[in-house]
């Protein structure tokens, strides 16, 4: 049979351990977050889980990537690539109190041999994706960037360019995200 004093000690000792004379620090409040539902990636797309990057007053996040596409379908017809199409699904966000200009033509795909490629104007138009758009203060948007790159290009990254901040001297070097 067990002693009732042993049971009392088990109940009282943990309470005494907290009696150091100093009040316990309140836990830090959890940050308030929006509940944005996850979206299903397209079947042919690789989900990219890289951290967002910032250039100028714009935050960039890569959501998905696909390459090796010989053609694309628009709303009216199929269009063949000169090389191969690559598509990068991105989310952009203005991080400033003013509007920012997003220019898809400035965003570069980077090949393993160092070559860089601008978005394909025809591909952007066929897929009805933006070329230049104003991004309002703290506004987020997501869309695709389409590239027509040589068949031998092994794409490894995308380099993003935002509007330079007020007073910036010289052009930005961009912010790069690995795709492989």
pLDDT by residue for the chain (180 residues), tens digit each?
Answer: 555 555 555 555 555 555 556 677 888 888 888 888 899 999 999 999 999 999 999 999 999 999 999 999 988 778 999 999 999 999 999 999 989 999 999 999 999 999 999 999 999 999 999 999 999 999 999 999 999 999 999 999 999 999 887 777 777 889 999 998
DSSP assignment of 114-125 equals: S-EE---HHHHH
Q: If you search the block for the tokens 């360019």, which residue do you land on?
A: 161
Quote the pLDDT of residue 9: 52
Strand partners, 144: 89
Ramachandran region, residue 70 (left: φ > 0; alpha: ψ -120 to 50; beta: rest): alpha
Residue 124 to residue 76: CA distance in whole angstroms: 14
State the first-to-last Cα distance of the chain, in angstroms, to the nearest integer: 66
pTM of the model: 0.80
The predicted structure's pLDDT at residue 164: 81
Write down all domains in the chain, each with its CATH number in brackets. 46-164+172-178 (2.60.40.1240)
């Amino acid at each position: 049979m067990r002693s009732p004093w042993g049971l009392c000690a088990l109940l009282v000792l943990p309470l005494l351990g907290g009696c150091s004379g100093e009040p316990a620090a309140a836990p830090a409040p959890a940050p308030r977050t929006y509940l944005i539902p996850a979206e299903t990636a397209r079947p042919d797309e690789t989900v990219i889980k890289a951290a967002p990057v910032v250039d100028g007053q714009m935050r960039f996040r890569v959501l998905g990537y696909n390459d090796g596409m010989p053609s694309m379908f628009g709303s009216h017809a199929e269009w063949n690539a000169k090389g191969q199409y690559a598509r990068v699904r991105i989310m952009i966000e203005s991080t400033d109190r003013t509007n920012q200009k997003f220019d898809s033509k400035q965003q570069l795909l980077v090949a393993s041999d160092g070559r860089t490629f601008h978005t394909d104007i025809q591909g952007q138009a066929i897929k009805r994706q933006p070329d230049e758009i104003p991004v309002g203060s703290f506004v987020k948007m997501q869309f695709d960037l389409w590239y027509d790159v040589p068949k031998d290009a092994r794409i490894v990254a995308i380099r993003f360019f935002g509007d330079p901040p007020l007073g910036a001297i010289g052009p930005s070097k961009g912010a790069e995200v690995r795709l492989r």
